Amino acid sequence: MRRTTFSSLTVAVTLAAALLTAAPASAETAAPGRTDWVPAPTPPTDQPAGARCDFPIHTEPIVDQVVRQVLATHPDGKPKEVAYKGDLVVRVTNTDTGAFHDVDAGGSTIIEIGTDGSQLWHTIGPVLVGVGENNGNLPRGEYRIDGVYTLAISPTGYRTLRMAHGSTDDICRRIG
């Protein structure tokens, strides 16, 4: 088990280092399927009471400098591996009371996308992840996950967090 954790940590650190130092691709140097870094705006969302928290929430970026780069594509041209990086701060608001918390969610991630729609996130740093009732190995909530970890998302949306090192913070508790 210790070896697996070290191995996961090593892979994540290597991926993050590659992601953070990657030079923008150009038409002359890009690997097949690879694209330049482009903006990847985070849309605002609304969740009704009971979906993530016991009350309705609204999430909206207040700083969004996230960019993405397609690293590889499937034979049909759809993305297979996508890298994300950049500053992101998301305001999570309890729309019943107006209480809010600003969440640093600017982690660096490489996402492997399966042909079935599944995703495997290899992440260093914080991201904001919502988990529905019985839809993950974390309880229902809106989480800031920080550290070195993977997040597997099945084709049905079930989320499985595997933490090599880090923490989770349920934002519902902060604004409830």
Backbone angles phi, psi at 136, to 5 degrees: 180, 170
Tokens matching residue 129: 């992840």
**Whether the Cβ atoms of residue 122 and residue 151 lie closer than 8 Å to each other:** no
**Whether the Cβ atoms of residue 103 and residue 93 lie closer than 8 Å to each other:** no
Model confidence pLDDT, tens digit, residues 77-103: 999 999 999 999 999 999 999 999 999
Confidence band of 34 (pLDDT split at 50, 70, 90): confident
Model confidence pLDDT, tens digit, residues 111-138: 999 999 999 999 999 999 999 999 999 9
Nearest CA to 92 out of 84, 100, 104 is that of: 100
Q: Give the residue-averaged pLDDT of 153-166.
A: 97
Confidence band of 61 (pLDDT split at 50, 70, 90): very high
Q: CA-CA distance, 64 to 43, in Å (whole number)?
A: 10
**Whether the Cβ atoms of residue 61 and residue 89 lie closer than 8 Å to each other:** yes
Task: Give the pLDDT confidence score for residue 35 in this predicted structure.
Answer: 82
Calculate the average pLDDT of the chain: 87
Nearest CA to 103 out of 64, 157, 48, 71 is that of: 64
Residue 20 has pLDDT above 50, yes or no: no
